[in-house]
Each structure stands twice: as C-alpha cells, then as structure tokens.
Amino acid sequence: MTAWKQLSLCFLLLVAGFAAAVAFVPGAAGLLQKAGIPGSVVAMLGASDAAKDGQAGKVANGGARRGQNTPLVVTQPVKGGIVNDRLSAIGTGDAIRSVVVMPQAAGTIREILIKSGDRVKQGQVLARLDDDEQIIARGQAEVALKSATEKFQLYRNIKSTVSRMDVFDAEIVEQGAKLALQSAELALKRREIVAPIDGIVGIVPVVVGDNVTTSTNIVMLDDRSEILVDYWVPERFANTVKVDQPVEATSVALPGRIFTGAVEAVDNRVDGASRTLRVRARIDNASDELRAGMSFNVAMRFAGNSYPSVDPLAVQWDGEGAHVWRVADGKSSKVRVSIVQRNPDAVLVKGDLRDGDLIVVEGLQRVTEGGSVRFARDVAQAAEVMTQ
C-alpha cells in the first residue's frame, strides 16, 4: 500500500474517532477545542450527530404515523327488532246490510214517496203502483163473503128444513169467500213497495209513470251503521288471524282518521292462485262518515318475532354471504348473518349478535379480522380537548 493511501486511512480513522468521542463522550467537544482542534471542525462533527438524532426522531415519528394508520370507524349498537308484528292490506268496504228493492207485482208507478239520502224504517212505504183493479177485486171478494156468510147462517138456523149436507156446503162456500178476500187484500197490499230493512236510500232510478215488473230495480237501501271490509292476507298469517282480533282502518276519503273494529270472519281456505286468505272485518260507523264501496287500508298487530336490528350500511357481502363487523375491546371481528327482513332504516338479521354489540357502519373498507380500530367519536373528542 502506498504511503499516501496509508496517510488517508489514518486520517479517516482519526476523524471517525473524534466524531465518536463527540457523539458519546460528554464534554468531548470542549476537550478537542483545548487540544487545538479548530472549532469549525468540532461543529461539523456535532452537526453530523444532530443529523443522526434527527433521523432517529423521524423513525419515531414514523411509528406514530403508523399508529395513526389504524382504521377510523363509526359504530352503532345492535338493537332488537320485531318482524311480522304488523300486517297491512287493502280492502273494500260494504254496508252491513244492503238490499235492492224490487216490486212484488207488475204495474205502473203512481207515487214515489222517497228521495236519495232519506233514512227509512223497515216496513215504510217507498212507492205505490196503480191499484184500481185490486181495489175492485177486493170489493168483489167482500160481497161474495157477505153472501156466503148470510147463506151459511140461514142454513144453520133452519136445520129442520135443510139437510146437514146443505149446511156443510154453505160453510165451505163461506170459508172459500174468506180466502178469496184475503187473496184480494194481499194483491192490493203488494201494490205498495215497502222497505225490507232500516237503511239509507240510494239514487232512485225510476219515476212516476214507469211500467215496472218484479225484476225492476226500484232503489237500493244500505244499512251502514257498520261497515264490512273484505281484505286478503298472506298465507303465513293463516294461523295468526283470529275472529274478534282488533283491526284499524284508514280511508283515502278521510286522511288522518283511524277507525277501529274487529275481525268478524276468516275464510276456511287459502286461495290457491294468490296464496292469500280472505278476512272480513267489521268497522263501527255510528257517525255515518263511511260509505259502502270505499277502499280501506287495514292494519293488524301481532306479537311477532324478535331479531337483531342493524344499520343497512353495516351489512357487507363476500363469497360466503352476508356479514357485519363487530368491535369488542378495540378489535374487529367478522360475524356471519342472514337477512330476515329489510326495512328503510334498519335490517333485521339472524346471527351471533346481542343487543348493545358495536357494529361498524362507516370505515368498513380497511377493517380486517382481529385488527385494531379507532373510534371516530374518540378522535373528535381528543381534537376538541386540544382546541380548548
């Protein structure tokens, strides 16, 4: 090795020794200056040491930043939810009793005694047909009865001069005359069209002078003191809906009003095409605000089944199905779930979840199995404390 190389190596070793002394020996910088080493050289060695300290600080800060890389999440607690606790169906209302009134005889309408909207009682006369022929027939029957009665009385009083057979025949004639009079009176009575039930009169489609038959619709009467609502429920409620079970109904015609009632009848079979069951409810209408033919939204409540309820954002999917991320002791874990019912603001699931479990709803992209997480609320609280 040449001399100049040996001198260079010795110089480098000397510089390294001085630098080590400055770095690790307290007060070494002052001793070197007393020994005649220029202060600029000592300062250069100290700057090298400071640079090393700076590198160490950067490493420490990098560790802190790596701590800040822990996923920041927002969580919500699991709550209990009820499925199948409420049934809602659309139904059509009908009067509890509704009758189409038709005449019992043919003829010409002579008088109409009602108008649309009238309340009538059972037996009240609604209209009358022409009855001239029936009045004459009744008069003839009365005359025939009077003649037969007098003849029978005469034969019965003079039994000595007439045979018993003549008396018997006279009695038969009298009885026949009575029946003929009853028939004439019935025919006359049927010229009056009467109300078969209590109810409210609908639109009257006939006028005075119309010729009607026994199939002519004179008027429709509705007894709407109560309204019957027929609606259809899904098959799964077949064993749940019971007679006398309370129901609530609302109508488009009366928004905001709720009418109460009870189930009156449940059909004995499920419709094979729609897989639904027909149910009939009775709604009180004492205030006469409801009309037959109205559509109703019928609601029924049941005990239902309880399931964990989570935010829709918490449910994630992978190759094995649905899951949520649960946080416990600052660690995240994947919990498999199955969807029971989707609602606008919550999803009911079946899985290993309990009320109060914290479920991640935001920051899901960086959450891993068994990984640490930070809560967004904790970071926000720390920032608030630092600004105070």
CB 300 within 8 A of CB 261: no
Identify the pLDDT of residue 81: 84
Q: What is the mean pLDDT of the chain?
A: 82
342 vs 387, which has greater pLDDT?
Answer: 342
Identify the pLDDT of residue 86: 80
CB 349 within 8 A of CB 324: yes
Q: What is the mean pLDDT of residues 329-334?
A: 90
Closest CA to 362 of 333, 336, 325: 325
User: What angle, 0 to 180 degrees and rounded to 10, lies between the N-to-C axes of helices 39-68 and 3-24?
Assistant: 60
- Predicted confidence band at 379 (pLDDT cuts at 50, 70, 90)? very low
pLDDT tens per residue, range 82-136: 776 788 899 999 999 999 999 999 999 999 999 999 999 999 999 999 999 999 9
Tokens of 125: 């006369």
- Residue 164 CA to residue 156 CA, distance in Å, equals 9
pLDDT tens per residue, range 160-188: 667 778 888 888 999 999 999 999 999 99
- Residue 118 CA to residue 243 CA, distance in Å, equals 34
Percent of the chain residues topping a pLDDT of 90 = 54
- Residue 251 CA to residue 295 CA, distance in Å, equals 6
Q: Is the pTM of this model over 0.75?
A: no
CB 227 within 8 A of CB 94: yes
pLDDT tens per residue, range 196-223: 999 999 999 999 999 999 999 999 999 9
Domains and CATH numbers, the chain: 3-68 (no CATH), 72-83+306-387 (2.40.420.20), 94-212 (2.40.50.100), 218-301 (2.40.30.170)
Q: Looking at the DSSP assignment, which residues form a beta bridge with residue 347?
A: 310, 342
